[in-house]
Amino acid sequence: MKIGFIGAGKVGFTLGKYFETSGLCVGGYYSRSITSSKEAAAFTSSKVYNSLEELIFDSDLIFITTPDREIELLWHKLNTLDFQHKLFCHCSGSLTSKVFYGIDKHKSYGYSLHPIYAFSDKLESYKNLNKACFSLEGPKEKLSVLYELLQSLGHKVYIISSEQKISYHLSNVMVSNLLLSLLNLSCSYFDDNLTEEEALLALWPLIENNLKNIKEKGFINSLTGPVERGDIDTICSHLGVLMPQHINLYKALSLNLASLSMKKHSDRDYSEIIKVLGGQ
């Protein structure tokens, strides 16, 4: 099965290199930027395609690795071309396979295949992609082809419905982008005399050990801190120094901690803490 890529950004670079180093057949790249196509093709020892028609004709499986906002417009163009018996995948976490409207007339199939992974560096990210899980959504007819392809590379694959995609993507964003934002805010409270880099260095062992504990023990068994202990005085002190725009965030996260703490300590009364945090 020959794999072609439309789009030569971080996702296209990473997936192409990972597939190539895993022994799959990467045909090459088409991009609006010929420079990007040439860089990606050189990186993956593959070909530069000068037209969409040429790439689709030469590929069995086509990955659309463009920004989300361009996928539907690109498919509108692809849908006017003459091709048969192809598999298409886009890599959007939020869009579904329904973006491939009218694909039946081509006797082809379209899927949403999303790596649960952060593509931070187009030249380096492929090195750890083997640790990633994937979500897969689309018509059942060729679902097993993609499922088995990923499984053969050692990946855990989660098949989800189109109705699940937005909440699924929200989950990804919360542990990725929003976690980054939360950590950044945390560093801003550490010490005004420290740089952001110094604060992160100081907090990193705490961050790392918490993530390790969550992975090994789960959420409830990893609980620590003033909410779990029932330390209402400390919580009130925190609320007194928080910037106004962060108070609701602190309360919402702490209320969830209170809910988890009640599961861990069914014999403790968290009602006063919940009241202070604005809960019921």
Q: Residues 42-76: pLDDT tens digits?
A: 999 999 999 999 999 999 999 999 999 999 999 99
Long-range CB pairs of 259-267, under 8 A, 24+ apart, other chains included: 260/219, 260/220, 260/223, 260/228, 261/223, 261/227, 261/228, 263/220, 264/220, 264/221, 264/223, 264/228, 265/228
105 plus 228 within the same structural domain: no
pLDDT, mean over the chain: 96
Give residue 280's pLDDT: 78
128-177 pLDDT per residue, tens: 999 999 999 999 999 999 999 999 999 999 999 999 999 999 999 999 99
127 plus 200 within the same structural domain: no
51 plus 110 within the same structural domain: yes
81 plus 151 within the same structural domain: yes
29-42 pLDDT per residue, tens: 999 999 999 999 99
Give mean pLDDT, residues 196-207.
97
Look at the pTM and tell me if it is higher than 0.85: yes
CATH no. for residue 105?
3.40.50.720
